[in-house]
Structure 1
Amino acid sequence: MKHKALRFGVFLTLGLLISHTGAVPIQEGRDALQPRDNTTTVGISQSLLDNFQLFANFTAASYCPGNENSTSDSLITCTDNACPLVAADNVTSLVEFGGSNDTTTADIKGFVALDPTRSLIVVAFAGSGNTIRNWLADFAFIQVPYTLTGCTACLIHAGFSSGWAERRSAVLSAVMSALETHPNYTLIVTGHSIGAGIATLAGAELRSLNYTADIYTFGSPRVGNTAFATFVTSQAPQLGQNYRMTHENDPVPQLPPTWVDYEHTSPEYWLTGGTDTTDAYAASGIVVCEGIGNEECNAGTGLVPIDGTAHNHYLGLISACQGPVAF
């Protein structure tokens, strides 16, 4: 109990610091001006759950040290049985980034890979190698302009912006080259935790370049303001679908808070009805929350008490190769 109180105290202190610095203006009365859409349904198709399982495997593989700095065409592999579906498909790497020898500021880790069995090009981003708390605190929830064509008045988290900027060239180059060679392959962008935030930015930009990309994220923090969340949501279905998964009372999707003008994309797919360590869920029980600013599903569980264990479990221990993501 002492450790949980300490973790909550860190978030509370950070929130108070932000409110006094004035770094991000709070929109007074925004709830009254923008009524919440709390539409929920229960149950998804088994095929969609199977897709979530597959891309959770790809995301788990992005954490594994064996997938750092290896040569092009090398197999994507995992320890601790973290990605059996990926291993079975003989997935090969196109480009890898991040890890022990990385010199970038954000050190966003991941890869672009080919899955010849399923005709997929997959961009996968791991979560932060440091603690979630420190990564978010380093940028104090400050927002910076997001300048993609069509995204009017969009603002995004400064840390996610810089993290994507450091990987943008390598990812776009690998994806464009792969699509030239394999024009009939489906493009998927996926990530967990901080990597889910980067995946959202990567997918949105690829779509803006007229590539169709499905975005699968697991335990994503909020990435930008209402205008940004609306923009990414509105890219579907013409330019790809948005599949944002949360788990029980995972605290990370509740950060940065809405009162500093951060919102999530829609829809949300909430794993619930188990515990923070449950990895097996039935498709019939997954709750779908639709609408920008929906306060049901994960957002309705609250941050108190903080329980970070749920953040590590997304249809398996998604950070198994690294170990539990710390708070």
Structure 2
Amino acid sequence: MKQIRWMKFAILLSLFVLTSGRGSKYDCLKMKQTENYSVYNHTLATIIAEYASAVYLTDLTELFTWTCSRCNGLTEGFEIIELIVDVKHCLQAYVGYAKNLNAVIVAFRGTQWNSLQNWVQDLYWTQLDLHYPDMPDAMVHHGFYYAYHNTTVRPAVLNAIRRAKEAHGNIDLLITGHSMGGAMAAFCALDLKISGETGNIQVMTFGQPRIGNAAFASHYIQRVPRTIRVTHEHDIVPHLPPHYHYFSQKTYHHFPREVWIHSIDNGCLIYTLEELCDTSGEDPSCSRSVIGRSIPDHLKYFGLDMGCYDPRTCKIVVDPRLDEFTRRDIDGNTVFSRYPNLIINVNNNNKSTYDYLIS
């Protein structure tokens, strides 16, 4: 009888080992990096969210001179070095210097409001169809990858980062974006690390979709461990493209580390909790614990608008007095560029005036 019990135990143990073996071999790699994960800071998150919100604006004069409606409060005094508008692919980003953080800020715009619903529907069927270069087993979606790597955005962003560091030294890089902009922010940070960037890089995204499989997530977090993905309530986009638990290498998988902002109702009091999730990237007790179907939750983070609600596609407004700071290619893609520490004032006398900031 005793032998039978031991045989049953051995069989159960074998089944447990076999079942565990079906999980991704990259799970253990992720766990080894736990001590290096970024520490979440609420104040920093609210500052970075303001940068992610401002990049959506279409008045490029106000954005370039940092006088826009979202260019104040915690980001007052920010200095844009390059503002990049890829008209052909409807992309926008900027690079600049934040004196209060002593850091270079890189912000990528997400999907425009007028195409958001179609984009969300497409995410349900987005396939893992591209091997990430020089990363064994790592798969991503070509659309996410190409938006950063195969447009005018990448060379302009890298050039602006180089110029910012020449002016301000080897200071920290803070890279952000909302929605599709979050995906581009992650690819940018990974690109910098692979290219040999030696400075500190921190990534904070808002409402970011999944962009690769578990192997990619593991490779990513080893190289860019200071990454925070902020999610909000029932925001639909972090649930897309779908994650299928039983097909670990054939499905999309978030990289860590998630911070889930959600409301708690204890019967007599409703309060907001910013919950730091586990290091798996797919914590079942965080945003995955709810059915994510809300587009309104996607468009508000920390009370800030994440989007621009103009019905026209890729509409931009720019003052011709900024032409001296402008470069355009044959497709109309535009880069507004200035020397670091240069203050630009567009006054009411139809002239662009500028002077150097005295530090």
Specify the alignment match of 1:297 in structure 2: 286
Specify the alignment match of 2:208 in structure 1: 220
Query: Radius of gyration: which is bigger?
Result: 2
Mark the CA change 1:69 to 1:163 in structure 2 (over 3 Å): closer, same or farther: farther
Specify the alignment match of 1:42 in structure 2: none
TM-score normalised by length of structure 2: 0.66
Specify the alignment match of 1:53 in structure 2: 46
Contact 1:94 1:112 in 2 (8 A): yes
CA shift for structure 1 position 320: 5.7
In the alignment, is residue 93 of structure 1 matched against residue 77 of structure 2? no
1:210 corresponds, among 196, 209, 217, to 196
Q: What SS does structure 2 have at the residue aligned with 1:258? A: coil
Contact 2:277 2:283 in 1 (8 A): no
In the alignment, is residue 112 of structure 1 matched against residue 112 of structure 2? no
Specify the alignment match of 2:169 in structure 1: 183
- Give the 5 Å matches for 1:174-323: 174-211=160-197, 212-237=200-225, 241-259=226-244, 261-273=251-263, 285-303=274-292, 306-319=293-306, 321-322=308-309
CA shift for structure 1 position 192: 0.3
| Mapped partners of 1:46, 1:268: distance in 2 | 11
CA shift for structure 1 position 47: 7.5
Q: Read off the aligned partner of 2:163 and give its amino acid letter.
A: S
Q: Read off the aligned partner of 1:316 and give its amino acid letter.
A: G
CA shift for structure 1 position 46: 10
Q: What SS does structure 2 have at the residue aligned with 1:94? A: strand
| Mapped partners of 2:309, 2:187: distance in 1 | 24
| Mapped partners of 1:138, 1:307: distance in 2 | 16
Mark the CA change 1:267 to 1:298 in structure 2 (over 3 Å): closer, same or farther: same
Q: What SS does structure 1 have at the residue aligned with 2:97? A: strand
| Mapped partners of 1:33, 1:320: distance in 2 | 38
| Mapped partners of 1:269, 1:96: distance in 2 | 29
1:161 corresponds, among 139, 145, 153, to 145
CA shift for structure 1 position 262: 0.5
Specify the alignment match of 1:122 in structure 2: 105
Q: Read off the aligned partner of 2:209 and give its amino acid letter.
A: P
| Mapped partners of 1:256, 1:317: distance in 2 | 25
CA shift for structure 1 position 76: 2.3
Structure 1 residue ranges without an equivalent (≥5): 1-28, 40-44
| Mapped partners of 2:21, 2:165: distance in 1 | 43
Contact 1:66 1:77 in 2 (8 A): no
Instruction: Return the structure number with greater strand share.
Output: 2
- Give me the CA root mean square deviation: 3.2
Deviations 1:197-250 (A, max 9, x none): 11111111112123231110000000111111111111244xxx0011101111
In the alignment, is residue 171 of structure 1 matched against residue 157 of structure 2? yes
Mark the CA change 1:285 to 1:268 in structure 2 (over 3 Å): closer, same or farther: closer
Q: What SS does structure 1 have at the residue aligned with 2:41? A: helix
Mark the CA change 1:311 to 1:83 in structure 2 (over 3 Å): closer, same or farther: farther
Mark the CA change 1:285 to 1:226 in structure 2 (over 3 Å): closer, same or farther: closer
Specify the alignment match of 2:34 in structure 1: none
CA shift for structure 1 position 181: 2.4
Deviations 1:103-161 (A, max 9, x none): 323x2222111112321111101211143342355574133434444x22211122111
| Mapped partners of 1:204, 1:68: distance in 2 | 31
Q: Read off the aligned partner of 2:236 and give its amino acid letter.
A: P
Deviations 1:295-315 (A, max 9, x none): 221112124xx2211111211
**Percent identical across equivalent pairs?**
26
Specify the alignment match of 1:132 in structure 2: 116
Mark the CA change 1:267 to 1:93 in structure 2 (over 3 Å): closer, same or farther: same
CA shift for structure 1 position 258: 1.4
Q: What SS does structure 2 have at the residue aligned with 1:261? A: coil
| Mapped partners of 1:146, 1:176: distance in 2 | 28
Q: What SS does structure 2 have at the residue aligned with 1:221? A: coil
Mark the CA change 1:164 to 1:233 in structure 2 (over 3 Å): closer, same or farther: same
Mark the CA change 1:152 to 1:312 in structure 2 (over 3 Å): closer, same or farther: same
| Mapped partners of 2:117, 2:130: distance in 1 | 23
